[in-house]
Amino acid sequence: MNAEDKIIQLLKGTGIEINGQNSWDIKANNPKVFARILAQGSLGFGNAYMDGWWDCDRIDIMIEKIILANLHKKLKTWSTLGAIIKAKLINRQSTNRAKQVGEKHYDLGNELYGVMLDDLLNYSCGYWKGKSHLGEAQIAKLELICQKLQLRPGMKVLDIGCGWGGFAKYAAENHGVEVVGITISKEQCALAKEICKDLPVEIKLQDYRTLTDKFDAIVSIGMFEHVGYKNYKTFMRVVHRLLKDKGLFLLHTIGGNNSVHNVDPWIDKHIFRNGMLPSPKQVTAAIEGLFTLEDWHNFGADYDKTLMAWYQNFTANWGKIKHLYDDRFYRMWNFYLLSSAGSFRARKNQLWQIVLTKQGQAGGYQSIR
């Protein structure tokens, strides 16, 4: 059986065909693509798309079907095994290595994120309950966080992984709080300072492990995915040290259904260097002995809508920024956004907002939805 026949056999039961007529079917442009996928798994699959070896009109649907059929689990290769071993032997998110994701991903250029994201440059899942537009969903997410943290005027808030300062700006303007935001991206830091100028907001280029001071509330939005399983406990100990005794900590993070020690090889190489998604077991192990779990809210299905909105913005505005990138980057970014949307749609990935206290809130915590 040749490589093409093996791929066709693997696809049986997924509803996906090679050179079929459906929008989610794979159109092979290079006969070598099948051997490449078998040899390199997801890394070869993604790289082959970037190289134009295959096309698909609806990558999001195709990936959803692959995941629902558990096909992604059958394409384990030596490169995947090597990534797992490397993750277990090395702390890939150490202080020295942590800045790599900033340089690789978040420093790609503010022009890219400016055309793709909402006005406040929120690069995390929106809250789409009762909303129909990306900007509305992102404002709803920010307000939801502020309410869950029970923010009041005069409080001092820490934002770990502040991005371009969207939360800091919103919280300072709408809830009268003082915010300290940290990021490991030089590009984010510079623009966040500009966005938050004339507000009681301080933006720092700093690793979370070097923080001092005490805060009334702490939030981390879309940063925990870069912490790594070897550092989950360290992260929680840092937050515990920085949070005042009666303070609230809200962790907004993508999560996975199963405990892993590495991320998908293609995502690791091209998108989120050294990242990984925590599991419920890994999160609860990290908070045990430090925090009381007050609330755990999953709205992962909303990330599908968020990613598709980003994709639509990116493709609609590509003409404004294409002079900064090349066609291979365009295909890479499309594959990233659409495959991620398909993964959330298949419910392989989740989005959690977790509220924690050091001593348990007196009288109980009132969950907000």
CATH number, domain of 128, equals: 3.40.50.150
Same domain, 27 and 120: no
Q: Is the residue at 38 inside a domain?
A: yes
Q: Are residues 242 and 352 in the same domain?
A: yes
Same domain, 183 and 260: yes
| Residue 107 pLDDT level (bands cut at 50, 70, 90) | low
How many of the other CB atoms lie within 10 Å of CB of 300?
Answer: 18
Question: Taking all residues of the chain, what is their mean pLDDT, rounded to a whole number?
Answer: 92
Residue 108 and residue 68 in one domain:
no
* In 114-241, beta strands by DSSP E: 156-160, 178-183, 201-205, 215-221
Question: Given this model, what pLDDT does residue 200 score?
Answer: 98
In this prediction, residue 102 carries a pLDDT of 44
* Short-list 361, 208, 364, 352, CA closest to 283: 352
pLDDT value at residue 199: 98
Residue 49 and residue 9 share a domain: yes
- Tokens linked to 115: 């055309």
Report the run of H or E that residue 54 belongs to, with start and end. Answer: strand 54-55
Q: Percent of the chain having pLDDT more than 90?
A: 84
- Residues spanned by the domain of 20: 3-76
Confidence at 145, pLDDT banded by 50, 70, 90: very high
Q: Summarize the confidence of residues 316-323 as an average pLDDT.
A: 97
pLDDT of 153: 98
Residue 101 has pLDDT above 80, yes or no: no
Residues 158 and 250: their CA atoms lie apart, in Å, by 11
Say which range, 100-104, 107-111, 308-312, has the weakest mean pLDDT: 100-104
Single out the residue of 104, 123, 102 nearest to residue 113, CA to CA. Answer: 123
Instruction: Establish if 287 belongs to a structural domain.
Output: yes
Give the pLDDT mean for 238-252.
98
User: For residue 199, what is the DSSP state?
Assistant: S
Instruction: Give the pTM.
Output: 0.91
Q: Residue 171 and residue 88: Cα distance in Å, rounded?
A: 39
Q: Which token pair is 276?
A: 């990984």
Which of the four pLDDT bands, split at 50, 70 and 90, describes residue 84? Answer: very low
The residue among 121 and 108 whose pLDDT is bigger is 121
The answer to whether position 341 is within a domain reads: no
For residue 102, what is the DSSP state? I
The average pLDDT across 129-144 equals 98
Q: Which tokens is 243 given? A: 């949070």
Q: What is the rounded CA–CA span in Å between residue 243 and residue 217?
A: 7
* 48-67: pLDDT as tens digits: 999 999 999 999 999 999 99
Residues 67, 143 share a domain = no
Across the range 248-255, mean pLDDT stands at 98
Does some domain include residue 86? Answer: no
Residue 254: inside a domain, yes or no? yes
- Whether residue 158 is contained in a domain is answered as yes
Band (pLDDT 50/70/90 cuts) for residue 94 is low
Confidence of residue 273 (pLDDT cuts 50, 70, 90): confident
Going by their DSSP bridges, the two strands 27-28 and 201-205 should be labelled as unpaired
Label residue 14 exposed, middle or buried (CB < 10 Å: 0-12, 13-18, 19+): middle
Q: How far apart are CA 164 and CA 166, in angstroms?
A: 6
Q: Residue 270, SS3?
A: helix
Domain count, the chain: 2
Counting DSSP H helices and E strands in the chain, the numbers are: 15, 9
Q: Are residues 48 and 120 in the same domain?
A: no
Nearest CA to 187 among 109, 97, 90? 109
pLDDT in the model for residue 22: 98
Structural domain includes residue 174: yes
Same domain, 117 and 230: yes
At 99, the pLDDT band (50, 70, 90 cuts) reads: low
Q: What pLDDT, on a 0 to 100 scale, did the predictor assign at position 81?
A: 44
Per-position b or e across 333-364, b if 16+ CB within 10 A of its CB: bbbbbbbbbbbbbbebbbbbbbbbbbeeeeee
Q: Is the pLDDT of residue 106 over 90?
A: no
pLDDT at 7 over 70: yes
Residues 242 and 140 in one domain: yes
Average pLDDT over residues 219-235: 95
pLDDT of residue 346 exceeding 90, the answer is yes
Q: How high is the pLDDT of residue 264?
A: 87
11 with 133, same domain: the answer is no
Domain assignment present for residue 138? The answer is: yes
CA angle 224–143–152, rounded 5-degree value: 95
Q: How far apart are the first and last CA of the chain?
A: 53
Identify whether residues 9 and 129 lie together within a single domain: no
Mean pLDDT, residues 134-142: 98
User: Cα separation of 168 and 25, whole Å?
Assistant: 43
Q: Given this model, what pLDDT does residue 95 score? A: 57
**Mean pLDDT along residues 330-355:** 97
Q: Are both 204 and 276 inside the same structural domain? A: yes
Encode pLDDT of 151-190 as tens digits: 999 999 999 999 999 999 999 999 999 999 999 999 899 9
- pLDDT of 236 above 50: yes
